[in-house]
């Protein structure tokens, strides 16, 4: 076999080759998407070479493999990043221009793969890129949703949802693996035969694998993202068809496919739907089988599994993988239960992403037992074994008629990690307090990170060009090198830095004009809050501040205000009515404020629809100010916060999640801090009329709330936002009112700083230079060393 890397013809020739022989089109009649397919195939060929070579090296080294199990991989577009990582971006742009095409139009023709809700899914995507960059043999396992996260539009300012359809066009990056299928079962019952426990499920479904190569920086290593799709065991009933029952003939296939049909859009409430549990088991069980198949192909002794396999559970969504692994080892391979549990415990690790009680997964044991009767028994045995080993234990996975996935994952995991220092600390003192006392070595911290290839090098050519001009390109693979920018920051350099930001702001303004017909003031501070809509993230605090600011500007239009453009984007879970109301309020307030001739040059508010990875790539480079304003103790980490700092937008934020670490690193003087701290929050909430007190003490807040409740922004329906006002004046669980006054103060401090262009750009540039630690390469090195005990093959 020839194992040398083939030499490829020039990219241009390869594009034309694929246009003809893969896409089947003549250059004269090819559409934009045809060119995109042709270019993608040309790139893919090269990625495949590195992929095969990485696979061969992994087998040869018999290296330990990392398996990242995640219900979500929010990978976005792959073409531009792939070109960048393989060093082909310039050649590709030149080739496309040469053939009379607009390169940006071709790159932007690709739909986003929106196979995730937000932070957790995007983190998984950054991790896949960093794992490949670092040359760690790894597989991502997830679900190939036919429909990713819904598309959002607005009708009268209210969120509307439409299905997402990324698979309407061929997905050029994936390889279907019809031979890699596993049959999985649900339901049925458990019997004992010859002393062996046998689960006989009644409902069978097949999982079919689709592989996407994930290339790292410089294409030196490529790993696999394997996504499972639901397929029927018997896809077609010929007998029914022949009887004339055409629809029913394919019923089985349609039913089996529902399992991977759609991504659930809830990211912060527990929904308890049977189909969701089925999705979780479906992809976890298929992945476990695949992992064992690969292990057993080369190794006989399953007790060696932990030395060759590390499984990471991305939150509790794949938690059932633990009991499934034990079930196969014990029921099917005949390993004693305690030994099977021991193997699992040394293989599986669990990452927690939330402390919100309403987001912690638990399943009704009735539902659970009907779908997975054997797993329910195994969970009881896990609890028994845990009790035997730790007679003082107070916590069980199964309790009060519920299966609690967090506790189950904790008990089964070798390491349990939080995603920022603050969050990990809170895990130890709140949700996992008792389990932590029992297992003080289990909980470790791995502060999140983001890939600098996508989140600076590719998305912000203006700034990354300046950086590379100044310190070379080594920072792209070693982000801490950004620190060496600091000595270069003289007046001339800061002027270039400001010019880069201006370029990005102008590009965003052009986009907004095209999309919404609105002209943004690019001299104004671009103040950006983009993330899922949630009360704890407090987009309503931000819009209340905008309303109060508008009112003050009207009072004194000539008071020398710093002009602002407040930019929002984010989706609300379809059933989360309060979050949808906040969207409505922002849009309604924007309509009134933007139409006010008195303030038009000083304040604009815009909510961009359909937030996704691609929109983030446009917005973050253009931001001046990053809004990270969650109630302290509620945001596990945040990763958007890191992307903004890295792209030169200082933060206005609370001491929450990774904001704490960002502030430590960029310096307190380069961060606009406000608000209560996590340890103060409970005491404040315990004051019965905390919100009323805060409103009474701050006339600006009182006036802003009055405008919301008197219909200033909803003239046709003055009561439209009564729900928000009642909540904020009463329970105000997330302490919007209590933090308002200090938030206002921090915002005015930002205003004053922005007026001094040199001061502001120094702050912004120091945010860039000191954000190197937030690379997901650093995070992955931490997981490799502390959790997986794996190694790099590069």
The residues annotated with a catalytic role in the active site are 353, 531-532, 537, 639, 643
Minimum Å gap between C-beta 698 and ligand 26Q is 29
The span from the CA of 95 to the CA of 10, in Å, is 9
Q: Which is nearer to ligand 26Q, 361 or 552 (CB)?
A: 361
At closest approach, how far in Å is the CB of 633 from ligand 26Q? Answer: 11
Tell whether residue 110 is a contact of ligand 26Q (CB under 6 A).
no
Q: Which of 18, 353, 488, 538 binds ligand 26Q (CB under 6 A)?
A: 353
Cα angle 120, 79, 481; round to 5: 65
CB of 353 to ligand 26Q, least distance (A): 4
Q: Is the dihedral of CA 346, 348, 349, 354 positive or negative?
A: negative
Q: How far is the CB of 641 from ligand 26Q (least distance, A)?
A: 8
Among 409, 448, 610, 753, binds ligand 26Q (CB under 6 A): 448
Q: Which ranges in 595-639 belong to alpha helices (H)? A: 613-622
Q: Which of 181, 276, 294, 703 binds ligand 26Q (CB under 6 A)?
A: 276
**Position among 154, 175, 241, 264 found at the interface with ligand 26Q (CB under 6 A):** 264
Least Cβ distance, residue 661 to ligand 26Q (angstroms):
12
Compute CA distances 788 → 158, 349, 562, 704, whole Å.
45, 8, 50, 51
Q: Is residue 364 close enough to count as binding ligand 26Q by CB under 6 A?
A: no
Tell me how far apart the alpha carbons of residues 427 and 119 are, in angstroms, rounded to a whole number: 19
**Residue 264 CB-density burial (10 A; 0-12 exposed, 13-18 middle, 19+ buried):** middle
CA atoms of 354 and 261, how far apart (whole Å): 26
Residue nearest to ligand 26Q (CB): 119
Cβ atoms of 127 and 137 within 8 Å: the answer is no
Asked whether position 325 contacts ligand 26Q by CB under 6 A, the answer is: no
Determine, following the binding rule CB under 6 A, whether residue 289 of this chain makes contact with ligand 26Q: no
Which is nearer to ligand 26Q, 289 or 353 (by Cβ)? 353
Q: Measured from the CB of residue 466, what is the shortest distance to ligand 26Q in angstroms?
A: 28
The residue within the footprint of ligand 26Q, chosen from 11, 47, 83, 123 (CB under 6 A), is 123
266 binds ligand 26Q per the rule CB under 6 A: yes
118 near ligand 26Q, rule: CB under 6 A? yes
Give the footprint of ligand 26Q on residues 516-575 (CB under 6 A): none
Taking alpha carbons only, the member of 415, 404, 406, 405 closest to residue 439 is: 415
The whole-angstrom separation of Cα 328 and Cα 375 is: 11
Kindly indicate which of the ranges 53-61, 75-83, 259-267, 376-384 contains the residues binding ligand 26Q, using the contact rule CB under 6 A: 259-267
Question: Looking at beta carbons only, is 45 or 677 nearer to ligand 26Q?
Answer: 677
Pick the closer one to ligand 26Q by CB: 420 or 714: 420
Q: What is the DSSP string of 277-296?
A: HHHHHHHHHHHHHHHHHHHH
With respect to ligand 26Q, which residue has the nearer C-beta, 276 or 498? 276
- Contacts with ligand 26Q by CB under 6 A: the residue count is 24
**Binding status of residue 261 toward ligand 26Q by CB under 6 A:** no
Judged on CB neighbours under 10 Å (0-12, 13-18, 19+), 708 is: buried
User: Can you tell me the distance from the alpha carbon of 30 to that of 20, in angstroms, rounded to the nearest whole number?
Assistant: 10
Burial of 746 (C-beta count, 10 Å sphere; 0-12/13-18/19+): buried
CB of 616 to ligand 26Q, least distance (A): 14
Computed on alpha carbons and rounded to an integer, the radius of gyration of the chain in Å comes to 27
The verdict on 313 binding ligand 26Q (CB under 6 A) reads no
Asked if 352 is part of the footprint of ligand 26Q (rule: CB under 6 A), the reply reads: no
C-beta of 118 vs 252, nearer to ligand 26Q: 118
Q: How near is the Cβ of 419 to ligand 26Q at its closest, in Å?
A: 4
Which residue intervals of 648-712 are DSSP H helices?
659-666, 678-686, 690-697, 699-709
Question: Per CB under 6 A, does 362 bind ligand 26Q?
Answer: no
CB 740 within 8 A of CB 703: no
* Structure token digits, residue 470: 């100044």
Among 639, 651, 714, 767, binds ligand 26Q (CB under 6 A): 639
Verify binding: residue 324, ligand 26Q, rule CB under 6 A.
Answer: no
Of residues 103 and 318, the one with the C-beta less far from ligand 26Q: 318
Stretch that binds ligand 26Q, among 43-51, 112-120, 697-705, 731-739 (CB under 6 A): 112-120
Under the binding rule (CB under 6 A), the answer on residue 631 touching ligand 26Q is no
**Is position 446 an interface residue for ligand 26Q (rule: CB under 6 A)?**
no
Nearer of residues 253 and 270 to ligand 26Q, judged by Cβ: 270
The answer to the question of residue 117 lying near ligand 26Q (CB under 6 A) is yes
| C-alpha dist (Å) from residue 601 to 96, 228, 558, 563, 688 | 40, 52, 12, 7, 41
- In the complex with ligand 26Q, the residue whose CB is nearer, 271 or 757, is 271
Closest CB to ligand 26Q among residues 169, 429: 429
User: Does 361 sit near ligand 26Q (CB under 6 A)?
Assistant: yes
Separation CA 241–CA 227 (nearest Å): 31
- Residue position matching structure tokens 């009515």: 577
Structure-token pair, residue 534: 């949630």
Looking at the Cβ atoms of 276 and 381, the one nearer to ligand 26Q is 276
**Token representation of residue 685:** 């909430």
Verify binding: residue 120, ligand 26Q, rule CB under 6 A.
Answer: yes
**Residue 400, helix vs strand vs coil:** coil
Contact 663, 651 (CB under 8 A): yes
Q: How far is the CB of 276 from ligand 26Q (least distance, A)?
A: 6
Query: Sign of the CA dihedral 262, 268, 271, 276?
Result: positive
Does position 627 interact with ligand 26Q (CB under 6 A)? The reply is no
Nearest CA to 757 out of 474, 418, 556, 495 is that of: 495
**Site of tokens 């221009």:** 97
| Nearest distance in Å: CB 657, ligand 26Q | 5
Q: Does 656 sit near ligand 26Q (CB under 6 A)?
A: no
DSSP codes, 13-49: HHHHHHHHHTS---TTT--HHHHHHHHHHHHHHHHHH
CB 690 within 8 A of CB 738: yes
Nearest CA-CA partner of 476 in 501, 448, 456: 456
State which of residues 129, 164, 407, 635 lies at the interface with ligand 26Q (CB under 6 A): 635
Using rule CB under 6 A, residue 119 touches ligand 26Q: yes
Nearer to ligand 26Q, 709 or 779 (CB): 779
**Cβ count near 24 (within 10 Å):** 11
670 touching ligand 26Q, by CB under 6 A: no
Among 1-9, 102-110, 265-273, 591-599, the segment contacting ligand 26Q (CB under 6 A): 265-273
Which range touches ligand 26Q (CB under 6 A), out of 482-490, 557-565, 636-644, 670-678?
A: 636-644
Measured between alpha carbons, how far is 15 from 17 in angstroms, rounded to an integer? 5
| Site membership for ligand 26Q, residue 271 (CB under 6 A) | yes
- Which of 30, 172, 359, 645 binds ligand 26Q (CB under 6 A)? It is 359
Handedness of CA 494, 500, 503, 506 (dihedral sign): negative
| H/E run at residue 275 | helix 274-298
- SS3 letters across 483-527: HHHHHHCCHHHHHHHHHHHHHHHHHHHHHHHHHHCCCCCCCCEEE
Q: x/- binding map, residues 403-422, to ligand 26Q, per CB under 6 A?
A: ----------------x---
Q: C-beta of 73: minimal distance to ligand 26Q in Å?
A: 12
Decide: is 149 part of the binding site for ligand 26Q (CB under 6 A). Answer: no
**Binding-site ranges for ligand 26Q (CB under 6 A):** 117-120, 123, 264, 266-268, 270-271, 276, 353-354, 359, 361, 419, 448, 635-639, 657
């Amino acid at each position: 076999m020839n194992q040398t890397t083939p030499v490829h013809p020039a990219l241009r020739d390869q594009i034309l080759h694929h246009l003809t022989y893969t896409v089947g089109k003549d250059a004269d009649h090819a559409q934009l998407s045809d060119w995109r397919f042709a270019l993608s195939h040309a790139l893919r060929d090269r990625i495949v070479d590195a992929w095969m070579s990485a696979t061969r090296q992994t087998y040869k080294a018999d290296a330990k493999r990392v398996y990242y199990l995640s219900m979500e991989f929010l990978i976005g577009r792959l073409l531009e990043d792939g070109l960048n990582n393989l060093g082909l971006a310039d050649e590709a742009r030149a080739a496309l221009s040469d053939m009379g095409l607009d390169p940006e139009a071709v790159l932007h023709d690709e739909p986003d793969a929106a196979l995730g809700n937000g932070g957790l899914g995007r983190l998984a995507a950054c991790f896949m890129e960093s794992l490949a960059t670092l040359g760690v043999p790894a597989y991502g396992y997830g679900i190939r949703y036919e429909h990713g996260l819904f598309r959002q539009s607005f009708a009268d300012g209210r969120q509307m949802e439409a299905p997402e359809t990324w698979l309407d066009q061929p997905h050029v990056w994936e390889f279907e693996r019809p031979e890699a299928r596993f049959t999985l079962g649900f339901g049925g019952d458990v019997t004992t035969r010859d002393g062996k426990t046998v689960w006989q499920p009644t409902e069978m479904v097949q999982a079919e694998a689709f592989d996407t190569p994930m290339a790292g920086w410089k294409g030196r290593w490529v790993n696999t993202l394997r996504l499972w799709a639901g397929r029927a065991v018997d896809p077609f009933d010929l007998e029914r068809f022949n009887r004339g029952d055409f629809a029913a003939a394919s019923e089985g296939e349609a039913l089996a496919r529902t399992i991977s049909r759609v991504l659930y859009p809830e990211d912060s409430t527990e929904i308890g739907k049977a189909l969701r549990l089925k999705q979780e088991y479906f992809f976890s069980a298929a992945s476990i089988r695949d992992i064992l198949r690969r292990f057993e192909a080369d190794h006989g002794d399953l007790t060696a599994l932990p030395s060759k396999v590390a499984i990471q559970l991305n939150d509790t969504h794949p938690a059932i993988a633990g009991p499934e692994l034990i079930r196969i080892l014990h029921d099917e391979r005949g390993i004693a239960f305690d030994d099977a549990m021991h193997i699992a415990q040394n293989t599986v690790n669990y990452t927690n992403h939330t402390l919100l009680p309403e987001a912690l997964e638990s399943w009704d044991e009735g539902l659970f037992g009907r779908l997975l009767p054997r797993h329910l028994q195994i969970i009881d045995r896990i609890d028994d074994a845990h009790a035997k080993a730790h007679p003082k234990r107070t916590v069980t996975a199964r309790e009060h008629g519920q299966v609690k996935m967090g506790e189950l994952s904790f008990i089964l995991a070798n390491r349990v990690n939080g995603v920022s220092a603050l969050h990990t600390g809170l895990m130890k003192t709140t949700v996992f307090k008792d389990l932590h006392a029992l297992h003080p070595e289990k909980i470790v911290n791995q502060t999140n990170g983001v890939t600098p290839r996508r989140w600076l090098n590719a998305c912000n050519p203006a700034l990354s060009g300046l950086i590379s001009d100044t310190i070379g390109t080594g920072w792209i693979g070693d982000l801490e090198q950004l620190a060496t920018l600091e000595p270069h920051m003289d007046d001339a350099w800061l002027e270039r830095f400001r010019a880069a930001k201006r370029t990005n702001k102008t590009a965003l303004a052009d986009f907004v004009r095209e999309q919404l017909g609105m002209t943004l003031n690019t001299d104004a501070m671009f103040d950006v809050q983009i993330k899922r809509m949630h009360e704890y993230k407090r987009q309503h605090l931000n819009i209340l501040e905008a309303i109060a600011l508008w009112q003050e500007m009207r009072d004194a239009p000539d008071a020398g205000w710093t002009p602002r453009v407040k930019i929002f984007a984010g989706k609300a879970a379809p059933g989360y009515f309060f979050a949808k109301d906040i969207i409505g309020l922002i849009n309604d307030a924007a309509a009134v404020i933007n139409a006010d001739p008195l303030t038009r040059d000083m304040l604009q508010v815009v909510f961009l629809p359909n937030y996704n990875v691609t929109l983030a790539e446009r917005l973050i480079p253009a931001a001046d100010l990053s809004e990270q304003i969650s109630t302290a103790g509620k945001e596990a980490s945040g990763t958007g916060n890191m992307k903004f700092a890295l792209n030169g937008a200082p933060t206005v934020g609370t001491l929450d999640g990774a904001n704490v670490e960002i502030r430590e690193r960029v310096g307190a003087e380069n961060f606009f801090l406000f608000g209560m701290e996590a340890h103060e929050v409970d005491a404040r909430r315990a004051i019965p009329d905390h919100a009323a007190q805060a409103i009474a003490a701050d006339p600006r807040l009182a006036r802003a709330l009055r405008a919301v409740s008197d219909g200033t922004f909803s003239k046709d329906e003055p009561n439209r936002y009564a729900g928000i006002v009642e909540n904020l004046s009463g329970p105000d669980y997330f302490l919007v009112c209590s933090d308002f006054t200090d938030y206002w103060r921090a915002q005015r401090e930002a205003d004053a700083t922005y007026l001094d262009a040199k001061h502001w750009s120094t702050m912004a540039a120091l945010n860039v230079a000191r954000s190197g630690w937030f690379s997901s390469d650093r995070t992955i090195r931490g997981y490799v060393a502390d959790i997986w005990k794996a190694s790099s093959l590069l």
